[in-house]
Structure 1
């Protein structure tokens, strides 16, 4: 079945702009205290529990969730504004971000009531870090090629296998993992996958090993499961049918402003470097970059409007992630080119060079986060009826 791409021209309502002003005031206070440095992309890659707890106290985590679970029953567009403002200044959001963005919604839909009441309020308070267990060695972002197995035993399942590129697994409280409970069929290679909630702190049978990055950071990990027991009540949703849940989850993961803002600090530094009166070459190049950024933002806002309307814009979310990743990966090279003839003595050229070094080193990993370009384009092509 095919469908046309749909990006509704959504405008943010007045309550979103009022919230934006409130968030900006909070950010200004955090900048003064030194928690946030808008020019330092390294800070944005960190997990700061105390910062996440302050956001929770402001009511900015679990914003769309029911109040009975600690949420605030606000809109997806209001949540978008908070995310956008925090990502624009590269705030250290990773302690809460995965749980707030996608793991919490999965628990809301599929977890037993006692688990919801236990975990969701802690996410809303900024006190719970989640990892995502999807990618595997040899299959990467092709989720349906997963080979890690969950075998039924008395009272639950025994899990064996490996997950890779697992961000913050070394400090995570929980993981939502995708494991094979049955073999795929000829008619449906998606059959046989099940999602599980895994307690990363209190479960024997888990080995976490760091994967180094060119930036020197260590948030990626390999996670090996050896006869890990997971009780029946930690099965999330339909046994053998998690592919429907996982694709829905990816609409949340792939559509936010984080998918095009991760290296945007070099654009900010470029503007400072070129100054208020750039030459024709610099002005034209800067204009193109800002126009591209604006287009990606409008697409992302539209997808979040569709989420607010109860839709599952998997194809549109995949497109935002594909285009956004390519843009933010190419951005450091374009910025370096445009800044080549600037006068370093009279500008922030030294700061720009530092940011370019970090952004260039971190750019390759961006295509791994949330799905590689090849897999995303397969999803888009399938959604459009082209394969």
Structure 2
């Protein structure tokens, strides 16, 4: 059996590397101005707002979008470098990140022209935060089992039900949510799901934050009680949103955020052991850096496919699965290396708080963006194994 699965060796061109230097100077300037603190564990709303405005002024939100909607028509590789540098610098990108990465491109492709003209400029300006409403309390990542309903009424739709593990919903202005508009058929379990643009300030929406073990309220449960949406808030084709959703997830699952969320722990560890000649520490860190480099090459390859107009759903799922499993395990692997450290020589105490934070944060990584079990099912299907 021949399987169409590939990760072409994409190299970042020189002009993209020049952009990297510009981005590094920008984040240093933002930190020096006090817009954000790279050492903080959780950024404030004010930091996120100010940073989003500064990034918008640089033209780095929606930079790969069409010019007619405020974009710069720059490459996915340029966007990749901007986001990679922001992640490494722990910049407060949450205000616009989801909208830039996937919600905006989804609206450009499927939304009505009125919605595009109304919402896309707000994203470009750093003024509209998005969340994604897919998982549900009784079905988790099994989107085919979604029960939250959208019922047709005069002039629009009424939403009822709940979504869960919805990142950033308590701050979001909009959600792109998947709702059941009719029952699935025996021939097609994917039938009956429709994508909607949801105004998160509408009457009938209740957001219940879920506190994680590191004290951060990042996930949420969102309840919908007879929420009204106008007809043109339907995104794409009624009852046939599954293909749209999988296309959207190709953007969500392949970026550097899938293996750099706990990078702060490695960075702190590298600072703590700078200049070490201990062969055991060098060997352990060398392995981790080589593994990270491999995942980065795969992620850049997917960015190249997106640049070419392809939809690498299977490849993106592989990047997400490998990346989050590795990212989740990184704090534990670093703890194993700590046992080799000379406590009299290295400032382990200064490193420990950061290590504790990332250890408590890591469990969420294999939930968000699709669980490992769901991802492996997608990969198996892509390989023709199911």
TM bucket (normalised to shorter chain) is: over 0.9
TM-score normalised over the length of structure 1: 0.96
Matches of 2:212 and 2:304, distance apart in 1? 35
Matches of 1:296 and 1:45, distance apart in 2? 31
Matches of 1:162 and 1:278, distance apart in 2? 54
Map 1:211-290 → 2, pairs under 5 A? 211-290=210-289
Cα deviation for residue 167 of structure 1 reads 1.2
Map 1:57-68 → 2, pairs under 5 A? 57-68=57-68
Cα deviation for residue 34 of structure 1 reads 3.7
Query: What whole-Å deviation, never above 9, does each CA across 1:323-382 have from its counterpart, x for those lacking one?
Result: 000111100011111022323454332232111110011111111110000000000000
Matches of 1:46 and 1:312, distance apart in 2? 36
Give the match's secondary structure for 2:93.
Answer: coil
Matches of 1:65 and 1:184, distance apart in 2? 34
Equivalent position of 1:366 in the other structure: 365
Give the match's secondary structure for 1:211.
Answer: strand
Equivalent position of 1:14 in the other structure: 14
Matches of 1:43 and 1:85, distance apart in 2? 17
Query: Does the Cα contact within 8 Å between 1:273 and 1:339 map onto a contact in 2?
Result: no
Cα deviation for residue 276 of structure 1 reads 1.1
Give the match's secondary structure for 2:245.
Answer: helix
C-alpha spacing 1:30/1:115, structure 2 compared with 1 (3 Å): same
| Worse-superposed segment, 340-349 or 57-66 | 340-349
Query: What whole-Å deviation, never above 9, does each CA across 1:173-232 have from its counterpart, x for those lacking one?
Result: 11110000111111111111000001112x111111111111111121111101111111
Matches of 2:343 and 2:30, distance apart in 1? 29
Q: Which has the higher contact order (CA 8 A, sep 6+)?
A: 1
C-alpha spacing 1:346/1:331, structure 2 compared with 1 (3 Å): same
C-alpha spacing 1:247/1:47, structure 2 compared with 1 (3 Å): farther
Q: How many residues matched?
A: 386
Matches of 1:341 and 1:247, distance apart in 2? 44
Equivalent position of 1:99 in the other structure: 99
Cα deviation for residue 31 of structure 1 reads 2.6
C-alpha spacing 1:131/1:333, structure 2 compared with 1 (3 Å): same
Give the match's secondary structure for 1:219.
Answer: strand
Equivalent position of 1:318 in the other structure: 317
Equivalent position of 1:382 in the other structure: 381
Query: Does the Cα contact within 8 Å between 2:36 and 2:43 map onto a contact in 1?
Result: yes
Matches of 2:40 and 2:325, distance apart in 1? 21
State the Cα RMSD in Å. Answer: 1.7
Matches of 2:315 and 2:45, distance apart in 1? 26
| Unaligned stretches of 5+ residues in structure 2 | none
Query: Does the Cα contact within 8 Å between 1:205 and 1:228 map onto a contact in 2?
Result: yes
Query: What whole-Å deviation, never above 9, does each CA across 1:241-261 have from its counterpart, x for those lacking one?
Result: 000000000000000000000
TM-score normalised over the length of structure 2: 0.96
Query: Does the Cα contact within 8 Å between 1:107 and 1:116 map onto a contact in 2?
Result: yes
Matches of 2:2 and 2:130, distance apart in 1? 34
| Worse-superposed segment, 47-56 or 160-169 | 47-56
Equivalent position of 1:207 in the other structure: 206
| Worse-superposed segment, 38-47 or 372-381 | 38-47
C-alpha spacing 1:132/1:117, structure 2 compared with 1 (3 Å): same
Equivalent position of 2:305 in the other structure: 306
Equivalent position of 2:82 in the other structure: 82
Matches of 1:336 and 1:45, distance apart in 2? 32
Matches of 2:45 and 2:159, distance apart in 1? 30
| Unaligned stretches of 5+ residues in structure 1 | none
Equivalent position of 1:128 in the other structure: 128
C-alpha spacing 1:70/1:154, structure 2 compared with 1 (3 Å): same
Query: Does the Cα contact within 8 Å between 2:204 and 2:226 map onto a contact in 1?
Result: yes
